[in-house]
Structure 1
Amino acid sequence: MLNVAIIGTGAICPSHVKGYLNFPSKCKIVALCDIYPEKAQKVKEEFHLDVNIYDHYQDLLEKEDVDLISICTPPYTHAEIAVGSLNAGKHVLVEKPMASSLEECDLMNEAAARNQKLLSVVAQNRFTTPMMNLKNVLDTKLIGTILHTQVDSFWWRGHSYYDLWWRGTWEKEGGGCTLNHAVHHIDIFQWMRGIPTEVTAVTSNTAHDNAEVEDISIAIARYPDGSLAQITSSVVHHGEEQQLIFQGEKARVSVPWKVKASLSKENGFPEDNNELEQKLTEVFEHQADLEFEGHPGQINNVIDAINGKSQLLVDGLQGRQTLELITAIYQSANMKQTVTLPLTKKSPFYTREGILSSVHHFYEKGKSVENFTSNNITTGGNY
């Protein structure tokens, strides 16, 4: 039985609480921590938890017998809390994005390795049946060489979204929709497709003049074989449709699931390849549905990995790789140049200080509220 603590009791915290409560024979939540202890108290009461409440994570580390810590705080705090928790001998599950910079990611991974503890980064959309099935389809190579990938991470957030005290600033949120929303799909993209070698990007703020950061970005990625990918990140798209499309030599597949395969007529025009479409559909539908999806699915994987019963699907190296691609998008857009991957420590965007001194402020943050009355949020992934 693992003892679990959750640090940060804001909007994403209930997803972690519900996740852990799925496994009462494997774990128990014993502590909550928030700089606003009244928020932690509200979570305690809402879920009828028998927990201790702390207003500083260091007090929790000193006083609680904890095996696993979920970090659900703003991004700029992730590295400090994660490193402190790992150094205290705790396993860590940290919300996305992993950290504010690649330097911080490296410090977190070094702490995990040094203390021989697991570090996992939340990527709950990997833990869905459609995503696992699509990954299986791609692994068969039946669609041939991938020629083009389309990533649409479309979300919608009202103007007041950025009124929350830590949102909408480079210093505390670390970026806009590319980092804090599209991170889900960029993670899946690099998991399925791998990291490109070049990125060219533009960013803009079209509807949120209370935020320093972007509310839309468009990036073009290039691979050594010449294939391309386009990644659109947005919080201005009504409907929040999200999709990943892989165009191969022989067929197109995507989530939400759609398949199309073509053969060439004598004149080069297409005709349907129904046989391949049927085969790809059978592969997609062959796998059994996951028993646990989203946060519960990832939490179950983390617990089983701690207990030596499974491999960790999303570790700190995977989390860093996702942030590296996002960092390349920001570097390209702000420096107005094509960026070559992998990024090195010489990159002006490797450190948090380098990022803060290099990024463009679209607007200056004005209104700032401590908390919203509602914690109801949308987390995407409706595939």
Structure 2
Amino acid sequence: MINIAIIGTGAIVSSHIKSYLEFQDKCKIVALCDLFEDKAEHLAIEFNLSVDIYSNYKELLERSDIDLVSVCTPPYTHADISIDFLNAGKHVLVEKPMASSLAECDAMNQAASNNNKLLSVIAQNRFTTPMMKLKHVLDTKLMGPIVHTQVDSFWWRGHSYYDLWWRGTWEKEGGGCTLNHAVHHIDIFQWMNGMPAEITAVTSNTSHDNAEVEDLSVAIAKYENGSIAQITSSVVHHGEEQQLIFQGKKARVSAPWKLKASTSQENGFPIEDLELEEKIQHVYNQIPDLKYEGHVGQINDILSAIEDNRDVLIDGKQGRQTLELITAIYESSSLGKTVKLPLSEDSPFYTREGVMKGATYFYEKKNSVANFTNNTITTGGKYE
């Protein structure tokens, strides 16, 4: 039996608890920890959990009966908490974003390596049937080389969203919608299409004057072969339509699933390539639906990895690559220049202190509430 401790009992924690409860034959939640103990206590009652309650996670470090820790705290705490538990010999599953800086990511990965423990970063949208099918289609190369990618990470959050005490500041949240919302789609983008060679970006705050951070960003990524990707990150889009579109030389595919293939007429104008469309659709249809999706799918992955002594699908190296792209967007938009990848330790945005010093501050955070009474959230990723 794999014993679980969960650190942080904010809005996302229910997804972790529900997921672990799907696998009661494999694991058991034995501890909840939050600065506000009453929140943890209410959760224990809500989910009928027989657990120990803590307000300081360090009290858990010496417990020999804990195997895996879910870190569900604000981003600026991820590195310290994860490193402490890895050094204590525990596996770690950390919520997105992995950390507030590349320096912290490197320290987390080093701790995982030093202690021979698993470090997995939440990217639950990879664990969806549409994304797994799309990834498989892209891997066949039937579409030809990718020439253009469109990433629309559209979300909508009201003005009060940034009133929560840790949100809306570079110090505690580490960034705005690019880091904390588009992280899902930027992760999928680099997983499916690889890392680009350079980033040029602009950011803005159009609707949330109670936050230092951006609520809208547009980035252009360019690859060595000339392929271009446009990445829009937003919390100002009503309807929250989210999509990834990959245009190959021979065909176009996307999530939500849409397929179109063209060939050229004598005069250069397009004509449908029905034969290629049929081949690609056949590949797509052959991939079975996932048994477990979202957080349930990712938690099943790490539980199985612990049991089978294997790697996880999304490790700390993958998490770092996603943050590297996001960091490049912030560096480009803040300094007004194109940023080359990969980023090195010489990047002015490599450390958390560097990000805080160099980032664009749009407004002053005006309000601060300890908690919201309503913890209902939307997590996107339907792709229907």
**TM surpasses 0.5:** yes
- Return 5+ residue gaps in structure 2 as ranges: none
SS of 1:138 mapped into structure 2:
helix
Equivalent residue number for residue 49 of structure 2: 49
C-alpha contact (below 8 Å) 2:82/2:92 kept by paired residues = yes
| Superimposed CA distance per residue, residues 249-292 of structure 1 (whole angstroms, 9 cap, x where no aligned partner) | 00000000000000100000001111111111111111111100
Letter in 2 for 1:134: L
Task: Report what 1:290 is aligned to.
Answer: 290
Match of residue 339 from structure 1? 339
- Asked if residue 120 in structure 1 is aligned to residue 106 in structure 2, the reply is no
8 Å contact from structure 2 (residues 75, 172) kept in 1: yes
Amino acid in the other structure paired with 1:51: V
Matches within 5 A, 1:152-191: 152-191=152-191
Q: Give runs of aligned pairs for residues 1-383 of structure 1, distance below 5 A.
A: 1-63=1-63, 65-308=65-308, 310-383=310-383
The number of aligned residues is 383
SS in 2 for 1:307: helix
CA distance in 1, matches of 2:39, 2:223: 46
Whether contact under 8 Å (1:301, 1:310) holds in the other structure is: no
Shift of 1:62: 2.5
TM-score, L = length of structure 2: 0.99
2: CA distance between counterparts of 1:84 and 1:170? 23
**Cα separation, 1, equivalents of 2:310 and 2:88:** 24
The aligned amino acid for 1:42 is H
Distance apart, 1:97 and its partner CA: 0.2
Question: How many Å apart are 1:63 and its aligned residue?
Answer: 3.9
Q: Separation in 2 of the partners of 1:216 and 1:42?
A: 35
RMSD after superposition:
0.7
> Secondary structure of 2:93's match?
strand
2:369 and 2:139 map into 1 onto residues whose CA distance is 47
1:180-229 Cα distance to aligned partner (Å, 9 max, x none)? 00000000000000000100000000000000000000000000001100
Aligned residues of 2:137 and 2:284 also touching (Cα < 8 A):
yes
Consecutive aligned runs of 4 or more in structure 1 exceeding 3 Å deviation: none
- Sequence identity (%): 70
Aligned partners of 1:5 and 1:29 also within 8 Å:
yes
C-alpha separation in 2, matches of 1:310 and 1:117: 11
Report the secondary structure of 1:62's partner residue.
Answer: coil
Post-superposition offset of 1:308: 1.7
Identify unmatched segments of 5+ residues in structure 1.
none
Residues 118 and 311 in structure 2, CA contact (< 8 A), matched pair in contact too: no
Aligned mates of 2:132, 2:231 — CA distance in 1: 20
- What residue identity is the alignment partner of 2:34? D
Distance 1:64 1:40, change over 3 A: farther
Report the Cα offset of residue 297 of structure 1.
0.2
> CA 1:64–1:311 in structure 2 vs 1: closer, same or farther (change >3 Å)?
closer
With structure 1 as the length reference, what TM-score do the two structures score?
Answer: 0.99
Tell me, in whole angstroms, the C-alpha distance in 2 between the residues paired with 1:17 and 1:161.
23
- In structure 2, how many angstroms separate the alpha carbons of the residues matched to 1:50 and 1:281? 48
For 1:222, the aligned partner's letter is K
